[in-house]
Amino acid sequence: MTKRPEEIALMAESGKLLASVFAYLDTLTLFGMSTMQVNDLVDAFIVHQLEARPASKGQYGYAYALNASRNSVVCHGVPSPDEILQNGDIVNFDITLEKNGFIADSSKTYLVGEVSPSARKLVQVTYEAMWKGIRAVRPGARLGDIGHAIEHHARRSGYSVVRQYCGHGIGREMHEPPQVLHWGRPHTGLALREGMVFTIEPMLNQGRHAVRTEDDGWTVVTEDGKLSAQFEHTVAVTRDGVRVLTLRPEEKQGAR
Q: Which residues are annotated as a binding site?
A: 76, 94, 105, 168, 175, 201, 232
The contacts found for 130-136 with CB under 8 angstroms, 24 or more apart, are: 130/200, 130/201, 130/202, 130/231, 130/232, 130/233, 131/254, 131/256, 133/182, 133/200, 133/202, 134/200, 134/233, 134/235, 134/242, 134/244, 134/254, 135/242, 135/254
In the predicted structure, residue 249 carries a pLDDT above the cut 90: no
pLDDT band at 253 (very low <50, low <70, confident <90, very high): low
Q: Which residues are annotated as a binding site for substrate?
A: 76, 175
Which pTM does this prediction carry? 0.97
User: Angle 5-25/35-44 helices, nearest 10 degrees?
Assistant: 130
> In this structure, is the dihedral angle defined by the CA atoms of residues 167, 136, 151 and 158, taken in order, positive or negative?
negative
Q: Which residues are annotated as a binding site for a divalent metal cation?
A: 94, 105, 168, 201, 232
pLDDT of residue 191: 98
User: pLDDT digit string (tens) for 166-201?
Assistant: 999 999 999 999 999 999 999 999 999 999 999 999
Q: How many CB atoms lie within 10 A of CB 87?
A: 10
pLDDT of residue 252: 77
User: pLDDT digit string (tens) for 84-124?
Assistant: 999 999 999 999 999 999 999 999 999 999 999 999 999 99
In the predicted structure, residue 254 carries a pLDDT above the cut 80: no
- Widest CA span in the chain: 48
pLDDT of residue 256: 45
Section 124-142 average pLDDT: 98
Walk me through the domains of the chain, giving residue ranges and CATH numbers: 5-251 (3.90.230.10)
Mean model confidence pLDDT for the chain: 97
pLDDT band at 208 (very low <50, low <70, confident <90, very high): very high
pLDDT of residue 1: 75
In the predicted structure, residue 151 carries a pLDDT above the cut 90: yes
Task: Tabulate helix, strand, coil % of the chain (nearest 5).
Answer: 30, 30, 45
In the predicted structure, residue 3 carries a pLDDT above the cut 80: yes
